[in-house]
């Protein structure tokens, strides 16, 4: 092999283990990539599982607390409505009595 200026180029001997080392390196890199991808998938599924678990737990807790709150609110509203109705009836009766006074009792003549 002739290089520039007429000098002969240096020929390096072929490393016999080069192909074997390349195959081992490729196998190691492929295995490493597969392990990383597996860990990434597992981590992602763990995050989704945790998010789903906490989401469902929050949903159930919200339903329970909301139901209890609505129950107590309706109980107090029913009591307030009953008080308002009874007061309204008393006021209506009082106005009716004021509008139509009862006749005074007549005394019999002797």
Per-residue pLDDT of 39-50, as tens digits, reads 999 999 999 999
Distance, CA of 92 to CA of 86 (rounded, Å): 10
What are the boundaries of each domain within the chain? 15-99
Per-residue pLDDT of 63-80, as tens digits, reads 999 999 999 998 888 888
Comparing C-alpha atoms, which of 67, 65, 47, 45 is closest to residue 57? 65
CA separation, residue 109 to residues 17, 85, 102, 103 (Å): 144, 45, 21, 17
Give residue 25's region: left, alpha or beta (phi > 0; psi -120 to 50).
Answer: alpha
Report H helices in the chain: 18-99
């Amino acid at each position: 092999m002739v290089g520039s200026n007429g000098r002969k180029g240096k020929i390096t001997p072929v490393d016999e283990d080069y192909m074997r080392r390349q195959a081992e390196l490729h196998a190691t890199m492929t295995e490493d990539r597969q392990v990383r991808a597996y860990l990434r998938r597992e981590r992602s599924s763990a995050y989704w599982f945790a998010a789903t678990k906490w989401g469902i737990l929050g949903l159930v807790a919200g339903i329970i607390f909301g139901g209890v709150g609505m129950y107590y609110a309706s109980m107090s509203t029913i009591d307030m409505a009953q008080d308002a109705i009874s007061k309204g009836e008393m006021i209506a009766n009082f106005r009716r009595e004021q509008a139509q006074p009862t006749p005074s009792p007549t005394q019999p003549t002797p």
